[in-house]
Structure 1
Amino acid sequence: MLASSEGALRHAFSNGITAFLFAATGSLAILITVGRGGGLAPADIASWIFGAYGLGGLLTLWMCWRYRQPLGMAWTIPGALLLPPALDHLSFAEVIGACWVTGILMAVLGASGVVNRVMSRVPMPIVMGMVAGVFLPFGLRVVTAFGELPAVAAITLGTFVLFTVLPALGRRVPPVLAALIAGVAATVLLGGMQPLGASAGLLAQPRLCAPAFSVQAMLELVVPMAVTVLAIQNAQGFAVLQQAGHAPPVRAVTVACGLGSLPFAAVGSVPTCLAGPVSGILVSSGARESHWLGGLVCGGAMVLFGLFAPAATRFALALPIALIGLLGGLAMLRVLQGAFQSAFRGRCPLGALVAFVVTVANVPILSIGAPFWGLVFAFVASALLEREDLRAAVQGQ
């Protein structure tokens, strides 16, 4: 029993650290790129980092502890990508005002139960087709990493395979954790670390951002951001958790995303969401009952990262994106496999295929990301061509 408990803790630690690194490198690079592209001042970007990671980590800790599930709460990347074009003609204060209204709207929708009813009527194969389309690029990074860092990728993948095929090793050190250690060591020894940026201090200095409310900002940003969180990112997270055997509290998570978005906006961050890829990593290995411990590890690391954002950002951005992508891809391989199996072995296979193809195509429409349209077009395709399957799936037969 003791050995089993120790193994569960090792998997939880491994998954939590990998999920954190995934969120604190590639996602961070996107945040900085979006901030710079939108013309934000360095102080505004630093405050956004504090909110996205520090406050996101606190929310993750609370949700994981309260519901004993791996509920990794983060900031919406697709929502952030709406900002650079909007900041061409809107002030930052107007954008923050739209984030406030988006948070309030999500909280109301969550408390009303609307989100629960909608989620219960979307067939799981269609949702998992969308999830497979979202996660496929992460899986492909296992291969593409060899084009950027062949030696590091070979050592990292070789270590993962070794600890996977030899159970005696895998019981002592989870394969992803072993691959993480080997990959970072190989990166340092082979000179793959990027130069550290200039120091901007040690502790974060969040700024309170006063909102401004304009009709143009409301019309342009509120609905796309709300749909992005509720119908794309949260839908991914819920589907991944359900696939792993969890019963995520849809209403509570939706309300938490809405209310959590308010302090996020107060320090200049976009709304919060249930992060699909982070959830996928947290449930990728170990006993289901201990997955929430990995969420605590991830949340705690995010809090520290947010508090020490100026210094931590320098080191996070020094790690090669290819290595973090490879580690994230390895962690999500089983999740990706499960998504394909759930999408195409049950009802509505055509709808699942449409959801997958539209999502992979990644063409936004009306400033709303492709995963949402994958769900819409898949539902339409099944309604026209798989009526019996769709009716049975909606009724839970």
Structure 2
Amino acid sequence: MQPFPLSTHFGQFRRDSSASAVLSGLVAVIVGFAGPTVLIYAVAQSAHLADRTVLSWVWAATVLCGLVSVYLSLRTRLPIMSTWSTPGIAFLAGALPGFHFAEAVGAFLTSALLVLLLGSVRPLTEAIGKLPTPLAGALNAAILLPFGFHLVQAFGGKPLLVGAMIAAYFLLRRLAPRWAVAGVLLVGIAAGGLLGLLHHAPVSLALTQPQLVLPEFSWRAVFGLALPLTLLAFTGQFVPGLAVLKVAGYAPEPGPIVRTCGAASVAAAFVGCHNLTLAALLANIVSGPEAHPDPSRRYAAAVYAGLFNVILGCFAGTFLHVMALLPTEAVQALAGLALLAAIASSLQAALQPAPGRVAGTLAAPAVLIVTLSGVSFLGIGAAFWGVLAGLAVYALERPRKVRALTPSPAVPAPSVPPATTAPPGR
């Protein structure tokens, strides 16, 4: 899709805005902030990082990702969200100890430049965007299903709280589907307060200031941090992120997205943040029917999510304390219910028969099984190996042209002229 001139965007955005888009964007930010942000504390504890360093990391991940989301969504009018690399931060929890943080920043910068460079390699970006739809659906389902499992586990831990949220969700889906997720959030807050489950802690409003970190470069950090982070950015975020959009019916050109995220990652590195990438999980919230019944207007939800991220990042320390007030089970239930429709559509896309086949291929189940296994090999996460396994099965099961065994229709014999006497010597 050709980008629209930026000067025409804001008036169109105002016309395409809706209350459901605002609420979907808010829910996406809450789910994203309450989930992967927890991992940064594991990194901080394992690497003994100062609070100021952690807050600067979160500031970059929210403010810069928010700006990228607003830019890409307005530019393409597609629901495109940016986020930090969740597999990357999970990797850093075990890999960062033993490195000076300035060395880590040098690795962050190196990885960002590699992503920017690879985003200019057209065959690579085209290959990312050509994942078959059943495999894209299976990959998306494998990413989302754990959040459904967490919903069930949360119900086991806090049945009254989560039960009220589940009941509100299905009731509102019948009465007012567009408000179902927002209603769940409000019910969760109210039920948590009535049951005495909200955590009480002092919350102060204060601006978060980014911290400039000068990078140091070492071959040890390049091979130990930068290269694995680059692989994880593509295999754990860009590939599944584009798969989410494909299942939702959108087909953006991968190259500009990768290059924009790479350029933003260069800026983020100088304030202590690793790769900014394409969102996969959160994209389901802003690209589904809850954002707006009209698919062409759902990009507004991603724009609002970006704006909320910018605001949240400016007050990152305050919002970290606010999120800590909610019970963990309430956040898990909100995420699981918000993504329930996306899980259903992803499974449907994964298991539908491929064109020209009576039954579905086994490629999609292969993606599901390998990705859900959580296997990691050569420092590369399960999403990559799941896609690789699915592509291998897909190629093995591709229908081959077989020569028909039924006899061809009879062809009349050509007329033969009457025999004549052969000339002598013949």
Give the alignment's TM-score, normalised by structure 2. Answer: 0.84
1:128 Cα deviation from its structure 2 partner: 2.1
Q: Percent identity?
A: 29
Paired residues of 1:240 and 1:335 also in contact (CA < 8 A): no
Alpha-carbon separation, structure 2, partners of 1:141 and 1:6: 37
Residue in structure 2 matched with residue 353 of structure 1 by the alignment: 365
2:251 equivalent to 1:239:
no
Which one of the candidate residues 336, 344, 368 is aligned to 2:343? 336
Q: Which has more helix, going by share of residues?
A: 1
Corresponding residue SS for 1:61: helix
Alpha-carbon separation, structure 2, partners of 1:64 and 1:6: 15
Corresponding residue SS for 2:298: helix
Structure 2 letter corresponding to 1:386: E
1:87 Cα deviation from its structure 2 partner: 2.3
Paired residues of 1:148 and 1:322 also in contact (CA < 8 A): yes
Matches within 5 A, 1:41-56: 41-56=50-65
Paired residues of 1:284 and 1:332 also in contact (CA < 8 A): no
1:314 Cα deviation from its structure 2 partner: 0.5
1:155 Cα deviation from its structure 2 partner: 1.3
Paired residues of 1:126 and 1:375 also in contact (CA < 8 A): yes
**1:278-309 residue CA offsets vs partner (Å, 9 max, x unmatched):** 10111222221221111122111111111011
Corresponding residue SS for 1:74: strand
2:198 equivalent to 1:187:
no
Paired residues of 2:133 and 2:247 also in contact (CA < 8 A): no
Alpha-carbon separation, structure 1, partners of 2:120 and 2:55: 32
The runs of at least 4 consecutive aligned structure 1 residues that moved more than 6 Å come to 5-8
Paired residues of 1:145 and 1:322 also in contact (CA < 8 A): yes
Gap change, CA 1:371 and 1:61, over 3 Å in 2: same
**1:160-217 residue CA offsets vs partner (Å, 9 max, x unmatched):** 1111112xx44xx611111111111111222212232676x61102100111111111
Question: Which stretch shifts more, 241-250 or 12-21?
Answer: 241-250
Structure 1 letter corresponding to 2:179: P
Alpha-carbon separation, structure 2, partners of 1:31 and 1:197: 22
Gap change, CA 1:363 and 1:195, over 3 Å in 2: farther
Corresponding residue SS for 1:273: strand
Residue in structure 1 matched with residue 220 of structure 2 by the alignment: 216
Give the alignment's TM-score, normalised by structure 1. Answer: 0.90
1:377 Cα deviation from its structure 2 partner: 2.1
2:383 equivalent to 1:371:
yes
Matches within 5 A, 1:244-263: 244-263=248-267
Matches within 5 A, 1:270-281: 270-281=274-285
2:150 equivalent to 1:145:
no
Question: Which stretch shifts more, 118-127 or 134-143?
Answer: 118-127
Which one of the candidate residues 377, 386, 399 is aligned to 1:388? 399
RMSD: 2.0
1:7 Cα deviation from its structure 2 partner: 11
Structure 1 residue runs of 5 or longer lacking an equivalent are 390-397
Paired residues of 2:169 and 2:183 also in contact (CA < 8 A): yes
The total of aligned residue pairs comes to 379
Structure 2 residue runs of 5 or longer lacking an equivalent are 1-13, 355-359, 401-426
1:22 Cα deviation from its structure 2 partner: 0.4
Residue in structure 1 matched with residue 44 of structure 2 by the alignment: 35
Structure 1 letter corresponding to 2:38: A
Paired residues of 1:115 and 1:250 also in contact (CA < 8 A): no
Paired residues of 2:265 and 2:274 also in contact (CA < 8 A): yes
Paired residues of 1:101 and 1:222 also in contact (CA < 8 A): yes
2:225 equivalent to 1:225:
no
Question: Which stretch shifts more, 264-273 or 374-383?
Answer: 374-383
Structure number with bigger Rg: 2
2:301 equivalent to 1:294:
yes
